[in-house]
Amino acid sequence: MRTVFCCPLLYSKKQLKGEEKGIKKEHQVNREIRDREVRVIAPDGRQLGIMPIAKALGLAEESELDLVKIAPKANPPVCKIMDYGKFKFEQAKREKEARKNQKLVEIKEIWLSMTIDTNDLNVKAKHARKFLEDGAKVKVSIRMKGRQQAHPEIGIEVMNRFYDILKDVCVMERAPLRDGRTILMILATNKK
């Protein structure tokens, strides 16, 4: 009779920790805490001192709450007795509120030329005015071609004329500046 040896299934460290489906835990809770001693904070915020993990878990179980490691890098690590489910809910609520209050500033770009006519400049300024009134920033660009590169001052003069048309609704966040073959200027809305 022949003996067959089978090797046990090999699990990665992620699978052993329960993170196989991309679920990342932010805090260690209750029995996941492997430290010998921890500094414990009561639910009301007062410090209970440094104690063995078994005693800290006992205090958490007595109050029917969770022991959560909130400062793992401290020596000894800091754990707080709290309702972890309620904590996660409030944290998600705060993050959602922060995302809602966050305002993204859109940047619109307008291209001019060094030989632009006054009428065309006014039409482009009208578009820029609409963008600025909607709360966007406007990036104004002039691409210099061929011999125009020898006279960037003409492009800067066109940019300044463009700004003069719009200065009642905007401020110059970045003055006209040559950047290689391009002249750039950024306009932002007036903070009234």
Is pTM beyond 0.75? Reply is no
Q: From start to end of the chain, where are the E strands?
A: 37-41, 47-52, 66-71, 78-82, 107-112, 137-143, 170-179, 182-189
Considering the domain architecture, whether residues 123 and 161 belong to the same structural domain is answered as yes
Q: Provide the domain count of the chain.
A: 2
Q: Give the least confident one: 29-38, 84-93, 96-105, 128-137.
A: 96-105
Q: Could you say which DSSP state residue 117 is in?
A: -
Domain that holds residue 31: 25-86
Res. 11: pLDDT tops 50: no
Q: Are residues 130 and 161 in the same domain?
A: yes
Together in a domain, 69 and 143 = no
99 inside domain = no
Taking only the tens place, the pLDDT of each residue in 26-70 is 777 888 888 888 888 888 888 888 888 888 888 888 888 888 888
